[in-house]
Structures are given as structure tokens and as C-alpha cells.
Amino acid sequence: MNQIGQKIVAMIALGSFALVIGLGKLRQAQAQDPQNPYPSMAPFDQYLIPDRDAEIALARTAAPPSISRDATVMVLGRHGYETAVEGKNGFVCVVERAWNGSFEKDREFWNPKNQGPDCLNPPAARTVLPILLMRTKLVVAGKSKEEIHESLKAAVEKKELPALEPGGMAYMLSKQGHLNDRAGHWLPHLMFYVPLKDAMTWGADATDSPVMVNPHYNGAPEPVTEFMVSVSRWSDGTPADTDSYAH
């Protein structure tokens, strides 16, 4: 190869290297976008907990042992949630994944680190848990966030989800969970499910009110309002440092 040819090859190689570096920096910038840190679904394996027994134990930390030890426990598998332990008190404990968050407001909808132990009482297990199961079924099918939203919206319009029962509530008292990157396990709290209505019927989100509205569901699109009330102790009975968090 003559000198001119060698220079051309060198220039092409240098240009290719610069392109690779540029694309790498672009991907890194996109991945670090604080407004959209998890822009798309990660490989599904990243959402799984390899040790089935560990997931069962984590799910049970959602509620005091007096409740969770007799609860049904569901774990996430490759085809969706499946029953790992048959309970006898009507409660269902499960570890929520990030896609149970708000379609519009949750910047971590696809965060594979998010694991929220949740234990639903019988009315909530019958009428609120099906929302999580339907969302998960769509995730397993490879649907995008937008497609999941539209499918849930259609299901609500066709009344394919069960009507909300009175008295639905859930425990989220685990200090081992990871609700999001900012708050970690946040605070131990109880959740109450009511038909879609003005949050002020409970004084939720009012100044100094202990009642908060969870932005997921809440008519976007599921016709359920979820109120949250923080409590002072974790499921193992240890006190929570409630002063470290502002509502």
C-alpha cells in the first residue's frame, strides 16, 4: 500500500474511532438524563430476584409477621406473578416492581432496582391486585409504557377490571424495600383504596395533613384513589425515623 493509501486508511480508522467515542458519550448522556433516568425497559432478567425464597421473605416484610406469615405470597416469574405460598387469612404479599408507578409522573417507571414489598388485605387482593397483575402481564408481553397505558385505559372502559370493594387497604412497612432512588425504602405506611374522588374528601395533601395521595392509579387510567398514611414503626417493630422525611 502506498503512502496516500495508508493515510486514507488511517483517516478512516480515526473517523470510526471518533464516531464510536461520540456515540458512547451520547448514550452515557442519555442514560444520565436526570429528567428521564430510565427511558425504557431494561432486560427482563434485571427485574427478577433469582432466589425465590429471598423474594418470599422480602414480600413478607411488608406487614407484621402476625399477618404476613399466614398470607398468600406471589413472586415474579418469567410469565408474570405466580403463587409461591398458599395462605389462609386472605392477605396477599407481593414485591411490586417499578411499573406499578404513575404513567405520567414516575421518572423511574422502568427502574429495575425498585422493589416495594406490599401486603394487601382481602378486599384489596381481590380488586386492586388485579391492576398490578394486568400491568405485569403487559410488561411480560414486551409492551411499551405507552402501550401499557392504552391497554389499561381500554380495560377500564370495557370494565375488565373488578369493581373496587369497600375496605381495601395494604401494608407497606418494609425497611428492606427500594421504592425509588431518591427515597430508598421511604417510610412505613398504610394504603387505603377508595373509588376515584376528590382527594380533599380525606383532606389528603393538605398542609400538615398526615394523609397523602399516591399519584399512581388515581384516574390515570385506573379509577382508584390510593391514600397513604405514614406510621411510626416498621414491620419488625423497630421505630422509623419519620423526622428524616418531609411529606
- Nearest to residue 149, comparing CAs of 164, 135, 165? 135
pLDDT, tens digit, for every residue of 221-247?
A: 999 999 999 999 999 999 998 665 544
Report whether the peptide linkage leading into residue 239 is cis, meaning its omega lies within 30 degrees of zero.
no
Is the per-residue pLDDT at 15 higher than 90?
no
63-76: b (≥16 Cβ within 10 Å) or e: bbeebbbebbbbbb
Rounded to 10 deg, the angle between the 129-140 and 145-157 helix axes is 140
Measured distance CA(173)–CA(230) in Å, rounded: 9
Ordered by start, the domain boundaries in the chain are 1-32, 44-244
Answer yes or no: are the C-beta atoms of 107 and 36 closer than 8 Å.
yes
Tell me phi and psi for residue 143, to 5 degrees: -75, 150
Cross-strand pairs, 68: none
Tell me phi and psi for residue 12, to 5 degrees: -60, -45
* 36-40, 123-127, 168-172, 187-191, range with the lowest pLDDT: 36-40
Q: Looking at per-residue confidence, does 31 or 90 come out higher?
A: 90
- Nearest to residue 197, comparing CAs of 235, 149, 164, 231? 164
The per-residue pLDDT for 198 is 80
pTM summary value: 0.84
The per-residue pLDDT for 23 is 43
